[in-house]
Chains A and B, each alone.
Chain A
Amino acid sequence: AQSVTQPDIHITVSEGASLELRCNYSYGATPYLFWYVQSPGQGLQLLLKYFSGDTLVQGIKGFEAEFKRSQSSFNLRKPSVHWSDAAEYFCAVGEETSYDKVIFGPGTSLSVIP
């Protein structure tokens, strides 16, 4: 069965610093991968997704992620973090038989220091 791990439970960065959130997946075939953000009191928002093609995926709000099959990773990056980026970030994988069925990782909580 598919699974997703996010090694970092909580990360703190200074505003303006670069950010990388790690995600590793366990999957038999080519995975459908997603990054979502959940801000306090708000719903989930899709940042980006990877289905196939270019392994470097651009998303909204200046985020990007790189799919590395050899490392079973899909790390999220942003070159310069803004205070408004403080939120909970979830990496997720679509199930093999139905990519609509999404399995979420445990999440990484991001704090931003002004």
Chain B
Amino acid sequence: GAVVSQHPSRVICKSGTSVKIECRSLDFQATTMFWYRQFPKQSLMLMATSNEGSKATYEQGVEKDKFLINHASLTLSTLTVTSAHPEDSSFYICSAPDGGDTQYFGPGTRLTVL
């Protein structure tokens, strides 16, 4: 079946640095992908919609300059956390619909900012 991968699965960085997380649809094309954030023992919060060939759409309260999203191709979306701080530490999950009625979620990326 369809698979969505994320890289890296886990990253630790120093405060003030930027971190890039990749989301790939491995065997299908996705014109749209979604990025979620999940704090420990909490639900997934939708951060933004990544659109291939156009700007991402951010949810209310999400800083677009902080969380840069680029949908470079029909199989790749990247989320860059700029000038990361400890409060950005979280679990980031991407998802991609297959064009039908099924959406696939990536395994997530654990970001820890020291």
Contacts and interface: CB of A to CB of B under 8 A. Distances in A.
Asked whether A and B interact, the reply is yes
Interface of A: 36, 42-44, 46, 49, 51, 90, 98-107, 109
B61 to A, nearest CB: 13
Interface stretch (B16-24, B64-72, B79-87, B101-109): B101-109
Contacts of A101: 34, 46, 49
B55 to A, nearest CB: 16
Interface of B: 32, 34, 36, 41-46, 49, 93, 95, 97, 101-103, 105-108
Given A100-B34, A101-B34, A102-B103, A44 B43 contact: no
A99 B43 contact: no
Contacts of B43: 90, 104-107
Nearest to B33: A100
Nearest to B100: A100
Contacts of A43: 93, 105-108
27 contacts: A36-B105, A42-B107, A43-B93, A43-B106, A43-B107, A43-B108, A44-B44, A44-B93, A44-B95, A46-B102, A46-B103, A51-B101, A98-B32, A99-B101, A100-B32, A100-B34, A100-B97, A101-B34, A103-B46, A104-B36, A104-B43, A104-B44, A104-B45, A105-B43, A106-B42, A107-B43, A109-B41
